[in-house]
Amino acid sequence: MSDPTLLQQITDYSNRHDPYPLYARLREKPVHHDETGPYVVGGYHAVRALLHDPRISSERRNRTAPAELPGQEGGDESGTLPPNFLRLDPPEHDRLRAITNRPFGPPHSPRRIDGMRGELQTIVSGLTDALDGDEIDLVERFSYPFPVTVICRLLGVPREDESRFHGWADVLVASLDPQPGQDVTERDRVAQQARIELGLYLNGLVEERRKSPGTDMLSQLASGDAPEGRMSNMEVLSTAALLLIAGHETTVNLITNGMLTLLRHPEVLERLRADARLAAPLVEELLRYEPPVQMLPGRTPITDIEVAGTTIPKGASLWLMVASGNRDPERFADPDRFDPDRVDNQHLGLGSGIHSCFGAPLARLEAQLALAELARRLERPRLVEDPPPYRTNAVLRGPRQLRIAIDGVRP
Ligand code: HEM
């Protein structure tokens, strides 16, 4: 089978429920490439090395090869906002990430995320209380509303505006997930409209917070003076939009993939129900075994580079297949086994190197609390459909719906 056919199969929707055998074939060669397609790397050590390689750029303008995936050109900026730091190289990346980190994590804000634990638990308990009926769609009723509420609280969006914020997030997340037969022009128009409305809304909020700052992240981004300098209004907006987008569907998919995997491994579900301390190693293993971000398709070498005898030319499109690296037998023993007791679990599920997930402590905490709560409170949960229907997106992979039959919800 020739290489492009393999890549086409990987992105083909019919394989979305189980791309892992295809990744195994991908790893048979260190670099896959055909005349026109991207260069694709799937081995753990090579992917990790490239994520740490300063010759690999995340900036669109360095790529001369065309984009292969729908939406790859656009993302959240699409001409309305300056590029966010996910899509910038140093030194701009480092400056913006450092300023964003001051109100978020150590050393300046070591308690921001742990300080949200009680609030997150309240949100999770509230969503679980509302799971009535004998069959639920976990995505709609739980996984989906949770992360956007959390981002609102983190940024400091007033409670009364949360539902508007949810509406914009819905549209933007849907625009990442092209549906076959969909009117693309109309979808882009609706997404652009949501982007503008969200931008205007955030702009108003930033102005308010500059005048009278609170303790929320947006206030601190808008009014703070870091040694790295201050963000412009546009930079604050693009960073806020990044936090919303990067932390939304990823977290939805981690929770949903998590529950799906637990229902396929009832003995692990039972262990988690009996002891919530299993949640931490379990979430790490999930990030390895079913990572919500399957691949990083937006990389470009800024100079010709050599990987295991293949030259990847400057300006080429380079795809780093993190989900494949996570199943590489050269790095993980028995990689296709879901094993929450695995030690030395340095997966690539949250990336690696300078762009490694900024929101990682929050993502981990959200998933741990969510899965522990569901395990403890759902009575006799059973999958109604296995595999469940997936979203079309091959990059941010996860079920569109997860129907679970339950006997009730424990108090
Ligand atoms: C389970 C949930 C999540 C997963 C699987 C995930 C995964 C990732 C991955 C793989 C990257 C690396 C991207 C790259 O190298 O190009 C990344 C970057 C990023 N993530 Fe997450 N993420 C999650 C949740 C979050 C949350 C909750 C937030 C926000 C609070 C967030 C904010 C970011 C940001 C801002 C970046 C860009 C970092 C940079 O460029 O320096 N993520 N994430």
d(C-alpha 10, C-alpha 31), whole Å: 15
Which tokens sit at 218? 């947006």
Q: Which atom of ligand 1 is nearest to the CA of 87?
A: 40
Residue with CA at minimum distance from ligand 1 atom 32: 359
**Cβ 142 under 6 angstroms from ligand 1:** no
pLDDT value at position 21?
A: 98
Residue with CA at minimum distance from ligand 1 atom 1: 251
What is the residue whose two structure tokens read 């679990």?
A: 345
Per DSSP bridges, beta strands 378-379 and 135-137 are unpaired
pLDDT value at position 179?
A: 67
User: What separation in Å is there between the alpha carbon of 350 and the centre of ligand 1?
Assistant: 6
Nearest residue to 197 (alpha-carbon basis) of 160, 241, 259:
241
pLDDT value at position 185?
A: 84
Relative orientation angle of helices 117-129 and 145-155, to the nearest 10 degrees: 150
**Cβ 359 under 6 angstroms from ligand 1:** yes
**Cβ 395 under 6 angstroms from ligand 1:** no
Per DSSP bridges, beta strands 305-307 and 310-312 are antiparallel
CA-to-CA dists, residue 247 to 253, 293, 357, angstroms: 10, 11, 9
Residue with CA at minimum distance from ligand 1 atom 7: 350
Of 41, 146, 357, 365, best ligand 1 pocket probe by most atoms within 8 Å of the beta carbon: 357
Q: Which atom of ligand 1 is nearest to the CA of 100?
A: 35
**Cβ 172 under 6 angstroms from ligand 1:** no
pLDDT value at position 378?
A: 97
User: What separation in Å is there between the alpha carbon of 97 and the centre of ligand 1?
Assistant: 12
d(C-alpha 41, C-alpha 325), whole Å: 9
Residue with CA at minimum distance from ligand 1 atom 4: 250
**Cβ 116 under 6 angstroms from ligand 1:** no
pLDDT value at position 76?
A: 43
- pLDDT tens digits along 82-123: 899 999 999 999 999 999 999 999 899 999 999 999 999 999
**Cβ 362 under 6 angstroms from ligand 1:** yes
Residues 6+ apart with CB under 8 A from 167: 194
d(C-alpha 105, C-alpha 257), whole Å: 27
Q: Label residues 261-288 b or e (16+ Cβ within 10 Å = b).
A: bbbebeebbebbbeebebbebbbbbbbb
Q: Which atom of ligand 1 is nearest to the CA of 97?
A: 41
d(C-alpha 3, C-alpha 25), whole Å: 10
Per DSSP bridges, beta strands 135-137 and 39-41 are unpaired
pLDDT value at position 188?
A: 83
**Cβ 348 under 6 angstroms from ligand 1:** no
**Cβ 75 under 6 angstroms from ligand 1:** no
**Cβ 217 under 6 angstroms from ligand 1:** no
* Rg of the chain on CA atoms, in Å: 21
* Residue at 109: amino acid letter: S
pLDDT value at position 166?
A: 84
**Cβ 86 under 6 angstroms from ligand 1:** yes
Q: How many residues does the chain have?
A: 411
pLDDT < 70 regions, the chain: 1-4, 67-80, 178-181
Q: Which atom of ligand 1 is nearest to the CA of 362?
A: 27
**Cβ 97 under 6 angstroms from ligand 1:** yes
Residue with CA at minimum distance from ligand 1 atom 40: 86
**Cβ 113 under 6 angstroms from ligand 1:** no
Nearest residue to 115 (alpha-carbon basis) of 3, 188, 224, 215:
215
